[in-house]
Amino acid sequence: MAAGVDVPLARRWFWVLLVVAVLSTGALFWAINAPSGPLPAAVLFVSGLTAVASIVQATRIMRVLNGPVDLSLQPRGEDTRSTGGRRK
């Protein structure tokens, strides 16, 4: 985790952004199913941007809270450095 991260505040913002993404997705669904006009077009534009922005920011917060991704193929806790990459 990055130094200086306020974890409770980051978690709160994560859930707020998740709720915003769900609500904006609902508005997006309404705008897609509404008859054509200026109001549904504006709602479609704003809710689409809001959904994408909130999902991206929530993903960034989740990545900071969870730490770096471990893509190694070996099971956790198993050290293969001393055996030259071979398992014991």
Structural domain spans, the chain? 18-66
- Picking from 68, 58, 67, the residue whose alpha carbon sits closest to that of residue 11 is 58
pTM of the shown model = 0.71
Mean residue pLDDT across the chain? 86
pLDDT value at position 78? 60
In the structure encoding, which two tokens stand for residue 68, read together? Answer: 């770096």
d(CA 30, CA 26): 6
**Amino acid sitting at position 6:** D
In the structure encoding, which two tokens stand for residue 25, read together? Answer: 């997705």
pLDDT value at position 86? 57
Cβ atoms of 28 and 44 within 8 Å: the answer is: yes
pLDDT digits (tens, 9 = 90+) for 35-49: 999 999 999 999 999
**Amino acid sitting at position 66:** N
pLDDT digits (tens, 9 = 90+) for 9-32: 999 999 999 999 999 999 999 999
Alpha helices in the chain (DSSP H): 7-33, 38-66
Average confidence (pLDDT) over 49-62: 96
